[in-house]
Amino acid sequence: MARRARADEHENHERWLVSYADFITLLFAFFVVMYAISTLNEGKYRVLADALVHAFRNDPVVTAQSTGLAPINRTTTALPPRPAPQRLDPLRREKAAKMMDLASRIQDALQPLVQSGQVRLTQLPHGLAVEINASVLFAPGQAALQAESTAALAAVAKLLAAGSQEIRVEGHTDNLPIASAVFPSNWELSSARASSVVRLFLATGVPAARLVAVGYADNKPVEGNDTLEGRARNRRVTLMILEDLTGTQRPAPAHDAAPVEPAAPALPRDAGARAPAVSG
């Protein structure tokens, strides 16, 4: 009897309608969401999101008409306008052109030393760096300018005297210690060498207000001090010719920049013999 009762039970052939209805509902919700995302109205998006949440929770949707309250004014936040592209300041462009012209003239004045690798010119973001090997200017362990170097420095000083740039003269040594009666350490030697160049510039007509002398000793090497060639490169005087930035904050001079000309060959060793304990 149990088997016959089960056979007589009516089989429901319309159960697929439930799944189909669920599928259509989800598909409708999907298209509604896609349509809402395609519009850039933030207020409508929030209203739709609230409605969908209430719909799937079977909660009654509270509207302004049902409560009698004034409708909420949902306004979209306007995007900030794009800043106008900055145009190159004509004054800034003029200063850069003057600096490039000055670099070309200094390179012409020091052409033999540039070709031999004893002078290197480097373009800075706001100026120019002229690196001069110490063997061109000074005897080993000394801070007095050699007679043959004064003519080249005087030619550079005449070019700078006509401008208005700040000139920062930096003295650098290698890491070999020096302890003489005149120079107790590399600090005094590097500072004295920078001061010697400043005095020559003053005598050539560069105003004192535009000159600065700085000694760094061996704290800013450009190559390693473990070889003769590296120490020879580190013994140098650098002229930091800073662009005239009147009325603005002058940036700190950068030592790493692209060279004006291709890299010069390796610097030769100093002509004079050097004692192991004497720097410069």
SS3 assignment, position 213: strand
Query: Has residue 278 been placed in a domain?
Result: no
| pLDDT greater than 90 at residue 145 | yes
How far apart are the C-alpha atoms of 270 and 136, rounded to whole Å? 9
Residue range 39-64: mean pLDDT, rounded: 62
Write the pLDDT tens digit of every residue in 14-46.
777 778 888 888 888 888 877 766 655 666 667
Confidence of residue 186 (pLDDT cuts 50, 70, 90): very high
Query: Do 191 and 60 share a structural domain?
Result: no
pTM: 0.58
In a domain, 259, yes or no: no
Q: What is the per-residue pLDDT for 26?
A: 86
Percent of the chain residues past pLDDT 70, beyond the cut: 66
**pLDDT attached to residue 277:** 44
197 and 126 within one domain: yes
The pLDDT assigned to 61 comes to 47
Give the domain extent around 227. Answer: 90-242
Q: Which residues contact 58 (CB under 8 A, 6 or more apart)?
A: none
Same domain, 106 and 170: yes
- State whether 206 and 105 are in the same domain: yes
Statement: residue 230 has pLDDT above 70: yes
Same domain, residue pair 22 and 131: no
**Residue whose structure tokens are 């049902």:** 66
How many domains would you assign to the chain?
Answer: 2
94 plus 63 within the same structural domain: no
Q: What is the pLDDT of residues 66-87, one digit of tens each?
A: 444 455 454 545 555 665 555 5
**Which CATH number characterizes residue 205's domain?**
3.30.1330.60
